[in-house]
Structure 1
Amino acid sequence: MSVCIKTAIFKFTVFLPVCLAFPVPPATKFEGWDFVKDYFHPFFLMKKESPLLAYEEKTKFTQPIDQNGTGLLDEKIVTVMHQPRCGVPDGIHHSTNPGRPKWNKSSLTYSIINYPYGMRPSTVSGIIGGAISIWSSVTPLMFQQVESQDADIELSFRKRAHGDGWSFDGPGGILGHAFLPDSQSQGAVHFDKDEHWSTSNRGFNLFLVSIHEIGHSLGLPHSTNRNSIMYPTYWYQNPKKFHLSDEDIQRIQQLYGGKYSSAIP
């Protein structure tokens, strides 16, 4: 295949933030256009025909990742696509209130429906409680753990297809997903049970992923800022030193106000 044909095939655009400032898995074999179409479908675009948009329309999506301005799909970009990440689509709200999805109350309940392999329920409960406190520490939100499955936020560990239309894919790949307030499954937080969940840098740190997914359940979409916990791609940081970025605090307070606000706006 000639260079010109390859260029024509692989010129495309993506709405994917750059994620190269932290360790990444070894580069995978370049898989080409079929892989890209399959990748875009769940994360960015609602129809597989969308990659056929006019070049002018697609260009607006390429800027966050194509820092060199080449417009070419290269192995660096494909490597970014292969990094473990959240399964919530980027750049859109799946909500009946897409402009400002949020809970219209300050007291929320949460429940842990089941647990991952190899972790004690008490350990998981402590991790989830810690992740929730990250958000409550900067907002008026108050959380109470309950045993009922009718809690506002329900956290569970699921495998493969699990009834919500967003299947997991086994180890690696998609780590979890969550549903925004006012969506059909509001408050539901699902983790891929096939992952190696841990309290350290082995496998995937449950505390870090929980903060991210709970952020979605409170109404936050993904961020293009790689320092934000709402950045879609997973990267490890020391949980003992973790703190929300200024952007994370600003965005959650835009929804619920500051810690000592008297009411949810």
Structure 2
Amino acid sequence: SHPPFLIFCMFISTDLLEEYFLQEYLRHFYGYQPKAERQKRTTKMREMQQYFGLPPSGELTKETLAVMKKPRCGLSDVEHVGETVRWKKKRISYRLEIIRLTSVVSIVTKVFRRAWKLWSNVTPLKFRNRNMEVADIDIFFYNHNDGSPFDGRGGVLAHAFMPGLHIGGDVHFDSDEDWSLNSTGINLFAVAIHEFGHALGLSHSSDPGAIMYPAYNFDPNYEPQLSFDDVKNIQKLYDRHVNLFMWRKHPEFDEMRVSLISSLWPETVPANLDAVYENTWENVVFVFVSGNQYWMLRQLKLEEGFPRSISTLGFPSRIKSVDAALHFRDEGYTLFFTGDECWRYVRS
């Protein structure tokens, strides 16, 4: 006969699991020490709630728990006070170390190239893929051994290290995540932009519209772009580029939107703008750049036959440029300002 055996069953309540999750979340992202007194934990809880725009009750509400359970970056939300960390050079190399994704190397490489370009568009930095050579930044897809192991699908998606020697600047993506190029899984492009921001020296931002917001905030209706907050912060670390932004008011928008000029139309249209106006009835945008030429875009795509001389709009030859433009949609005309003159234009 078989010897008798015992089965031990242990049931852990949902409350205990949530308590443990809360403790680990605050420890990892807000510097909470579990052995500290409860008042200290309440303070850390309020700090987290304020960071994410929640009522700072210090209690584990349903809304607070929902935010905590969102997929996110593995770096702390607490900014460390001290010397600013950044790269001391303008040309930075990176290398992609793929462990389990060898079949999609070319696709991932293109995604990363696009992500780096967003940062190079607003700084003097240039990024180069070094393939198998030694690089400043190593990028990995795997569960690594650097003291911060990943947690499977969901939870922590990736993390990065601030600029520096050896592991400094390296970026690690959790290989267990359902990475994708669209909205079916975790959007690799959006997460890469965020982590590359850390690799350049940026901390997290409490602005939900910022790429550097710690929680995964991908909206499939919009292409991920740097926000005004992202650009402002990266330009504190590196030299500033001027004339990067435009503000757009559109009937479909509830509020004025700020965008990078380079993100709204093709690269063939110069970014050194003098004036822009949008005719929302016809869904066309007229772009005037330094000099006497203008471009027309329909649905933000360049129309054939452009650029053209501003003389085709009826300006006399003595007018060499347009300083500003103001379109009146309901009245159906546009005002052009050139020096101390104002011109009224009706598009036929």
Gaps of 5+ in 1: 1-27, 261-265
Secondary structure at the aligned position of 1:113 is classed as strand
Q: Which moved more, 1:68-77 or 1:248-257?
A: 68-77
Question: TM-score, normalised to structure 1's length?
Answer: 0.77
2:174 corresponds to: 192
2:75 paired with 1:91? no
- The separation in 2 between residues aligned to 1:31 and 1:56, in whole angstroms, is 18
Alpha carbons of structure 1 residues 105 and 46: separation in structure 2 relative to 1, 3 Å? farther
1:203 aligned to 185, 195, 208, which one?
185
- The separation in 1 between residues aligned to 2:192 and 2:201, in whole angstroms, is 14
Q: Deviations over 1:78-131 (max 9, x none)?
A: 1110110000111134xxx94311001101001101165486111000000000
Deviation at 1:235, TM superposition (A): 1.8
Alpha carbons of structure 1 residues 86 and 50: separation in structure 2 relative to 1, 3 Å? farther
1:77 aligned to 61, 64, 70, which one?
64
Q: How many percent identity over aligned positions? A: 36
Instruction: Map residues 23-172 of structure 1 onto 2, 5 A cutoff.
Output: 31-45=17-31, 47-50=33-36, 52-54=38-40, 58=44, 61=47, 62-65=49-52, 67-93=54-80, 98-114=82-98, 117=101, 120-148=104-132, 150-159=134-143, 162-172=144-154
Q: Deviations over 1:50-84 (max 9, x none)?
A: 46344885576143346445332111111110110
Higher helix fraction (1 or 2): 1
- CA RMSD, 1 decimal: 2.7
Alpha carbons of structure 1 residues 75 and 257: separation in structure 2 relative to 1, 3 Å? same
Alpha carbons of structure 1 residues 75 and 152: separation in structure 2 relative to 1, 3 Å? same
Contact 1:115/1:124 (8 A) holds in 2 = no
Question: TM-score, normalised to structure 2's length?
Answer: 0.60
1:181 aligned to 163, 166, 169, which one?
163
1:8 corresponds to: none
- The separation in 2 between residues aligned to 1:83 and 1:59, in whole angstroms, is 16
Secondary structure at the aligned position of 1:170 is classed as coil
Secondary structure at the aligned position of 2:98 is classed as coil
Q: Indicate the structure (1 or 2) with the bigger Cα radius of gyration.
A: 2
Q: Which moved more, 1:251-260 or 1:131-140?
A: 251-260
Deviation at 1:32, TM superposition (A): 3.6
Q: Deviations over 1:194-252 (max 9, x none)?
A: 01111000110100000000000000000011100000000223487332110100000
- The separation in 2 between residues aligned to 1:55 and 1:36, in whole angstroms, is 10
The one-letter amino acid paired with 1:154 is: D
Gaps of 5+ in 2: 1-13, 243-348
The one-letter amino acid paired with 2:59 is: L
Contact 2:30/2:44 (8 A) holds in 1 = no
Alpha carbons of structure 1 residues 238 and 134: separation in structure 2 relative to 1, 3 Å? farther
- The separation in 2 between residues aligned to 1:92 and 1:134, in whole angstroms, is 23
How many residues get paired? 228
Secondary structure at the aligned position of 1:144 is classed as strand
The one-letter amino acid paired with 1:71 is: G
Higher strand fraction (1 or 2): 2
Alpha carbons of structure 1 residues 117 and 182: separation in structure 2 relative to 1, 3 Å? closer
Contact 2:92/2:125 (8 A) holds in 1 = yes
- The separation in 2 between residues aligned to 1:110 and 1:249, in whole angstroms, is 21
Greater RCO, CA 8 A, separation 6+: 1
- The separation in 2 between residues aligned to 1:187 and 1:55, in whole angstroms, is 31
- The separation in 1 between residues aligned to 2:24 and 2:174, in whole angstroms, is 20
